[in-house]
Each structure stands twice: as C-alpha cells, then as structure tokens.
Amino acid sequence: MSTRLSAVSSENAPGTGDSGPEMAALVASGTVDVPDFPKPGILFKDLMPFFGDGPTFKKVVDGIVTHWGPDSFDVVAGVEARGFVLAAAIAYATGLGVVPVRKAGKLPRPAFSATYALEYGEATLEVHEGAFVPGQRVLVVDDVLATGGTAGATMDLVERAGGVVAGFTVLMELGFLDGRERLSPRKVHALLTV
Ligand code: AMP
C-alpha cells in the first residue's frame, strides 16, 4: 500500500469486498469521506486519491481483470464521470473497447435515455443507439454503488442499445442501501463493501 494514501484516509477502515481484504484495503486507503456533500445528510465517498495513486490504481484494475477471468465480457461501459476513469483502464488492460454512458444532452447522435432517482436527487443517462454490437457482453463500471438506480438505468440502456449485461464492477458498495439486491440476479463485483 502506498504511504501517500495511508496518510489520506483514516475513516475508511479495511472492510470486506468480493476480491478479498487486500483489495478492499487498497480502495479504502484511497477514499476520503466528505460529510454533507453534495447536500446535507449525504456522506460522499471521494475516490480521487485512489485514482491519483498509480500503484494502487494498477493493482486494483489488475484485480478486477483477474476477478472476471478471460472471455467474460466483450466491451466495458463506464458511467459518467468517475466510471469513465475505471472503465478505460479495464478496457485497456483487457484489450477491449469502452462505451461511455453519458449524462443528458452530451451525445451528438440519436441516443436512448433513462431517468432515475439518485440517493441525492434525480438524473438522466444516455447511450448512443447502436452503441453495442447485438449480443455483445458488457461489463458495467462505476465508482460507487449506492441505491442501484444508476446501475439499473445503465443496465436498461445497455439492453435497449443491443448489449447484454455480463455484470457490474464498482470500487465501493454502500451495502446498507441494498443496490446489489436491486440488480439481482446480475453479478455484482464490489472491491469494498461498507
Ligand atoms: P445510486 O444510483 O444511488 O446507486 O448512486 C450511484 C451513483 O451516484 C454513482 O455514479 C456514484 O458516483 C454516485 N454516488 C451516490 N452516492 C454516493 C456517495 N455517497 N459517494 C459518492 N458517490 C455517490
């Protein structure tokens, strides 16, 4: 674990995760809890220190690739914006492509759109029509799984655009919000569950 990150986070003690305690500790070490952001009552999990630490980022991306194993997905979909960072790294590590799932109004060509409730507010996500080859297996990636609304909307978009969701990977799962149950029976891989 990097010394730089050890200094960043004390609140996120090593916990459980689907890739074991070492991976969980790496994610925890790069996370800072920010109270009352973006609105009162929300404890925001800021993963920017994790993304900023090269050795930690690489170990976790390699751990994600190992978790899924060879030939388990054909393309990676990342949710704007922090999901883009992780999705691109996984795509590069596996030699696959990446499809950005964007916030409303950003895509230049005809797109499917899904609106859903967030832990804090409401949001709309979009993906280009024809973004996936029909039947393409898609790994959906984001930084945090909270209520599962974002991941559920992304699943809907992927399927409307012709893909098949192979599973979800998130760095951190807020277990008390039951997002995983909402995505059942799809496979959910969380590096750290708090
Ligand atoms: P949800 O749709 O409720 O599962 O929320 C997940 C999405 O919102 C992800 O894109 C996260 O980046 C963001 N998010 C929700 N809650 C938090 C939180 N407590 N800390 C950081 N990001 C969050």
* Angstrom distance (rounded) from CA 114 to CA 149: 10
Taking the centre of ligand 1 as the mean of its atom positions, its distance from the CA of residue 174, in whole angstroms, is: 9
Ligand 1, atom nearest to 153 Cα: 2
pLDDT of residue 14: 55
Residues facing 21 on adjacent strands: none
129 is catalytic: no
**Cβ of 45 below 6 Å from ligand 1:** yes
Nearest to 169 by CA among 52, 38, 58, 19: 19
Quickly tell me which residue has 């990150």 as its tokens: 5
In the chain, where the domains are located:
3-193
Ligand 1, atom nearest to 79 Cα: 10
pLDDT of residue 157: 98
Taking the centre of ligand 1 as the mean of its atom positions, its distance from the CA of residue 146, in whole angstroms, is: 5
pLDDT of residue 10: 43
Spell out the residues 6+ positions from residue 178 whose beta carbon is closer than 8 angstroms to its own.
Answer: 147, 148
Q: What CATH code is assigned to 3-193? A: 3.40.50.2020
Backbone angles phi, psi at 157, to 5 degrees: -65, -45
pLDDT of residue 13: 54
pLDDT of residue 179: 96
Q: What's the whole-model pTM score?
A: 0.94
Quickly tell me which residue has 């200094």 as its tokens: 7
Ligand 1, atom nearest to 174 Cα: 19
pLDDT of the chain, 194 residues: tens digit per residue: 444 564 454 455 557 999 999 999 999 999 999 999 988 999 999 999 999 999 999 999 999 999 999 999 999 999 999 999 999 999 999 999 999 999 999 999 999 999 999 766 789 999 999 999 999 999 999 999 999 999 999 999 999 999 999 999 999 999 999 999 999 999 999 999 99
Based on the number of CB atoms within 10 Å of its own CB, is 30 exposed (0-12), middle (13-18) or buried (19 or more)? buried
Tokens of 43: 């404890």
Three-state DSSP at 93 gives helix
